[in-house]
Structure 1
Amino acid sequence: MDVLSDAIAAMRTGRPHASLTRRDSPCRMRFLGQGGVGFHSVVEGSARLVPADGGIAPVALGPGDVVFITHRGAYELVGERDGEPPAAAMICGAYFLDESRPHPLLTELPDFVHLAAGDVDGGPLRAVLGLLRAELDEPQPGSDSIVTSYLDTLLLLILRTWWLRVRGGTGDLTGWAAALADPAVAAALRAVHSDPAHPWTVGELGALSSLSRAPFARRFTASVGMPPLGYLTWWRMTLAAGWLRDPDEAPLRSVAERAGYASEFAFAKAFKREFGLAPGRYRKLRAAG
């Protein structure tokens, strides 16, 4: 699952935030569409999540349920029946992501990932939700950093729980769910993510799972959506863009080396082909923004 961790880390910007919301009287909670992703965990009561665009059916949420939202449109949390409060208590969390270059693993997620209480109970996700609730309920010295750590952990646990559920289903896996479940493809992805600067070849990546070049390349491309070396370049550029956004990051020469390029010139050429901007210009614009 290191690939999942890397995908999240590459997209994350800013600090996540969370709140413990209580509603004691009938009302509707409306959330406007915006960048990033978030979740709601029903602590007590029940609610329906209703997308404003009507694109999918409302999602019924009961006590202990968690819903993860990637939907970019507005939605509401309303009572299970008209006139009921959305929930007696609910933990709401939000994460900010750089959506200019989203990892395909996240773009394949459905708009709403509903994890019923039975999917969550007895596991680490429920335990971390309990710890988060305690910090939000009674903040103590250090709570700001502790809450941030819990939210980072929760994001990965929610996605891992969903992925394990998909992998354990009866249907055929497709896309990144298939990639992470395929030992040959997963081994290559882990290798690329663990050492992006290495001059990987298709044959070398295939050999990690004892596959010859052509069968491995077909298998990788079918699930990931791009050839092995295409993904290597995409991942290198994604990492480089993140390093360039960091005002305290190393000079361009060091960024080029970390991205697997022997010279700053070669890196700049590849970066401009990918982003339409020279890396130095990209860094200045991001710093100004």
Structure 2
Amino acid sequence: MDVLSDVLIALRTGQPSAARSSSHAPWGVRFHRGPAAGCHVVLEGSCWLLSDHGEPRRLSTGDVLFTPHGDGHSLADHPDSPIVDFQPESHGSEPLGGMRIDGAGPVTELLCAYYWFDPDRPHPLLAELPAMIHVPARVGQHPSLRATVELLGQEVADQRPGTEAAVRALIDMLLLYVLRAWLDEQPDGQPGWATALRDPAITTALRQVHRHPEKPWTVEDLAAVAGLSRAAFAKRFTTIIGQPPLTYLTWWRMTTAARLLRETDEPLRAIAARCGYASEYAFSKAFKRAYDAAPGSYRTALKRTA
């Protein structure tokens, strides 16, 4: 498994959800700040993005807007149009929530998707993302993203048996392709995950940490895997990732442990072994230091709120 896929699988919680809006001008919709990352796709027409992160920005058919940190913003047919709060309604047999604003003007069709990430362990890659990522629909650029947007539009417009499963899968793909588009546009040589995922030595070491968190890794071991000297690897990893190799290893082990506690019924001793701890006591101590809760209490609390 590659590092980006692994990060998304480990940090996602629950299923993504989506809502479709059909709005005739004049219209405006406010999306309040919240815990979920949002992704808007303009399926038909155009609109304006209004936020505290810059001047109003026009979005056209095929454009994608990603708000990774859940920042509040509004979408409207015109910057001066009246704005209402987003309140999607579920229509029972339909797989998507929906919102409709009637008017006399041109229509804008939007698909708004939401993703939930583990709020206790935001991955450094996600933390690097800006508040708003706008990926315009430019001919010849990001063909996989464009194809996903087109398929989403078709599924939303012509809902058939299997649409719910298709939309969820496509929403997952949408997130991946948006992140790829952003990563591809970042300059080379800057510290951060865009550089890390292009660096063969660092990527090789990260892949081994992600695949085998149970191994008793040392800096020397990871340097050997990366094909570098210990000193060169430690400096390069720390500069690019922003933390030393073994600090990231511990962080990933705890993130993996939380996912296993959340998604499985494996006993604590098995999770401890899978995360590189020889004893349940050592694992519990490390987990409590990271999450301020013992593993058993953490799992019980999740089940209580499920």
- For the 8 Å contact 1:45–1:87, the answer to whether it is kept is yes
Return the letter of the residue paired with 2:61.
Answer: P
**1:111-163 deviations in whole A, cap 9, x for unaligned?**
01111111775611111111122222222222212211111111111101111
**1:169-194 deviations in whole A, cap 9, x for unaligned?**
4x642211122122221111111111
Q: Separation in 1 of the partners of 2:105 and 2:8? A: 34
Q: Aligned match of 1:269 in 279, 285, 300?
A: 285
Shift in CA distance, 216/156, structure 1 to aligned 2, threshold 3 Å: same
- For the 8 Å contact 1:28–1:85, the answer to whether it is kept is no
Shift in CA distance, 206/256, structure 1 to aligned 2, threshold 3 Å: same
**1:64-102 deviations in whole A, cap 9, x for unaligned?**
211111243321112246459796222221112221211
**1:208-261 deviations in whole A, cap 9, x for unaligned?**
232111111011011111110110110000110111122x42111111111111
Shift in CA distance, 210/71, structure 1 to aligned 2, threshold 3 Å: closer
Gaps spanning 5+ residues in structure 2: where?
82-103
Between the two proteins, the alignment pairs up a number of residues equal to 283
Shift in CA distance, 85/285, structure 1 to aligned 2, threshold 3 Å: farther
SS in 1 for 2:197: helix
- For the 8 Å contact 1:42–1:61, the answer to whether it is kept is yes
Q: Separation in 1 of the partners of 2:47 and 2:147? A: 22
- Answering whether residue 49 of structure 2 is matched by residue 49 of structure 1, we say yes
Shift in CA distance, 125/85, structure 1 to aligned 2, threshold 3 Å: farther
> What is aligned with 1:225?
242
Deviation at 1:44, TM superposition (A): 2.5
- Answering whether residue 275 of structure 2 is matched by residue 259 of structure 1, we say yes
SS in 2 for 1:262: coil
- Answering whether residue 184 of structure 2 is matched by residue 184 of structure 1, we say no
> What is aligned with 1:5?
5
- Answering whether residue 115 of structure 2 is matched by residue 95 of structure 1, we say yes
Alignment of 1:13-162 (within 5 A): 13-51=13-51, 54-80=52-78, 82=80, 88-118=108-138, 121=141, 123-162=143-182
- Answering whether residue 231 of structure 2 is matched by residue 214 of structure 1, we say yes
Return the letter of the residue paired with 1:103.
Answer: H
Shift in CA distance, 223/86, structure 1 to aligned 2, threshold 3 Å: farther
| Identity, % of aligned positions | 46
Shift in CA distance, 240/87, structure 1 to aligned 2, threshold 3 Å: farther
SS in 1 for 2:238: helix
Gaps spanning 5+ residues in structure 1: where?
none
Instruction: Compute the RMSD of aligned alpha carbons.
Output: 2.1
Shift in CA distance, 87/196, structure 1 to aligned 2, threshold 3 Å: farther
- For the 8 Å contact 2:43–2:153, the answer to whether it is kept is no
- Answering whether residue 218 of structure 2 is matched by residue 201 of structure 1, we say yes
Q: Which has the higher contact order (CA 8 A, sep 6+)?
A: 2
Deviation at 1:109, TM superposition (A): 0.2
Query: Please, what TM-score do these two structures have when normalized by structure 1?
Result: 0.91
> What is aligned with 1:245?
262
* Structure with more of its chain in helix, by fraction: 1
Structure 1 residue runs of 4+, over 6 Å off?
Answer: none
Q: Separation in 1 of the partners of 2:220 and 2:139? A: 40
Q: Separation in 1 of the partners of 2:53 and 2:17? A: 28
Deviation at 1:50, TM superposition (A): 0.9
Bigger CA drift: 273-282 or 149-158? 273-282
Query: Please, what TM-score do these two structures have when normalized by structure 2?
Result: 0.86
